[in-house]
Each structure stands twice: as C-alpha cells, then as structure tokens.
Amino acid sequence: MCAKGMVVAQAATALYCSPTKVQRAMAGKVLPDWELVHDCAQLFGLDPVLLRELWQDAEQQRLRARHGTRQTSAPSVRLVRTADQLSAALIRQFEEARRPRYREMSRRAERAARSSRDFARMSHTSAWRIATGKGLPGSAEQLRAYLVACAVPRTAFGQWIAAWERVQAQERQDRQTRHRERRTEAVSAEEAKALMRTAGLSPRDPYPGWNRPWAAHCTNCRAFSRFRLSEVAGKGRGCPVCASPRPLGSGQATGPAAE
C-alpha cells in the first residue's frame, strides 16, 4: 500500500471494506480472508498464485495451532452406509484439501459444470453446508462438484457415487418404515385385541401401542409373555413357548392400513 502512496482509508475504499479490516491485515496479527488477499493482489499488481500458496500455508498453520493435527474420524468411502458416515467422509475430504475457501470451491464447481453436465453448480453456501456437516449433496452432480472442489481425483468418483446411492437407498427405506409406522400406530384398541386373538394370544393389559410390549398369555399353552403388535400382526409371531401361532387368514387385516 505504501508503494502506491495509499493511506488506509484510500485502500479500504478501493477494496470495498472497512479501514479497520485493512489495518488488522497490515498489522499481521490476524490472518485476513482470501477474498481480501485476492483483491489486494489485483489492486497492487501482485502474483495471486504465489499469494494463494502463502495464504494457504498460513491458514494451515492457524488451523493446526487451533485444532492440532486432528481430522474428522470417517470410514473409508467403500464402507459408508449411513448419512452420518457420508457426511463425516465429505468433511474429511474438505480437511485433506486444506480447507479451501467456500467461494473458491464454488468457482471450481462452476468451471467443472461448464465443461460437463456430470457436474452441477454449487454455491458457496452449499459448499459450507456440506463441509461443515449441515447437509449432504442433493444430487450425484452436486456430489461430483464438491469432490472437484476438494481436489479429489476423478478416478475415485465411482466409489463416492456408489456410497451416495447407498445412503439414498437407506434414507428411502427409513422414510417408508416411518410412514408405515405412522399409519399402523392409528390402530384402535378393539382392532388390536382382534389381531392378538387371531394369533392365539389373550391380552392382559390395555393396548399400549403398535410397537410397545403388550402383556398377554397364549390361549393354547397359557404361557405368559410380552408381545409387540407390530411383530404379531406384521410378521405372524405368536407364542414363543408352544411356537404354534394361529396363522392369520388371507382376508384378515394386518393393521389399519389394510382396511
């Protein structure tokens, strides 16, 4: 700045930021964000590539001083099965890429999207959500964009797409299960008792709920136990002692969904 004869106020005006931010950057006590460093490079004719390397080294040292060398614990991408595991693996890639700036990740994704339809544009907000574990890629194209932004080799994309598809399949299955549970939880007490009697069980207590233990005795051997109506009606499970549940008739309802 001094080389150009600028004072702090003039530099702040040219850089579209506050004088305080410029002063803090000049003092060297706080690492400025990359956007400010990049704007300074353009304003003063400096080499942005060299500044980027220097800034990333300084950023890495700052993060190590703050967090140590610890990285997010994550399974191998081949072992990913759940949304939490996939999120942890994506965060780990972000850390191994030396935590690139979110706007830079967005620019990398933009370049990839222009070259191929296999990639989607990714805003810096989306990059932030994925890199901090607050969300997952919404599509395979966005996943590829994130991986490109984290400098993941394209030869590894297949494993990541397969992991993402496994998680999506598990999420769909979980949603279907929750949907079935919400529907079956609406069974009335009389319907529940009828289903238990059909399975050869006589309830001893009031109906507690579709997935909760229900005290009953077997009408065949008189053995007492606890049963879940979801297992009795949905899986045909009856008395564990005599192991001879009465089969539900083909026309018998197995829950409120079968009306």
Domain boundaries, the chain: 2-67, 77-181, 187-259
Question: 2-67 maps to which CATH number?
Answer: 1.10.260
Q: Cα-atom radius of gyration of the chain, to the nearest Å?
A: 30
Global confidence as pTM? 0.51
Give the pLDDT of the chain (259 residues) as one tens digit per residue.
Answer: 444 456 778 777 887 788 888 888 777 778 888 778 888 888 888 888 888 778 777 776 776 666 555 677 888 899 999 999 999 999 999 988 888 888 899 999 999 999 999 999 999 889 999 998 999 999 999 999 999 999 899 899 999 999 999 999 999 888 877 776 666 556 788 888 888 888 888 998 888 887 788 899 888 888 888 888 878 876 666 787 776 444 444 344 444 433 3
b/e code 194-221 from CB counts within 10 Å (16+ = b): ebbebbbbebeeebbebeeebebbbbee
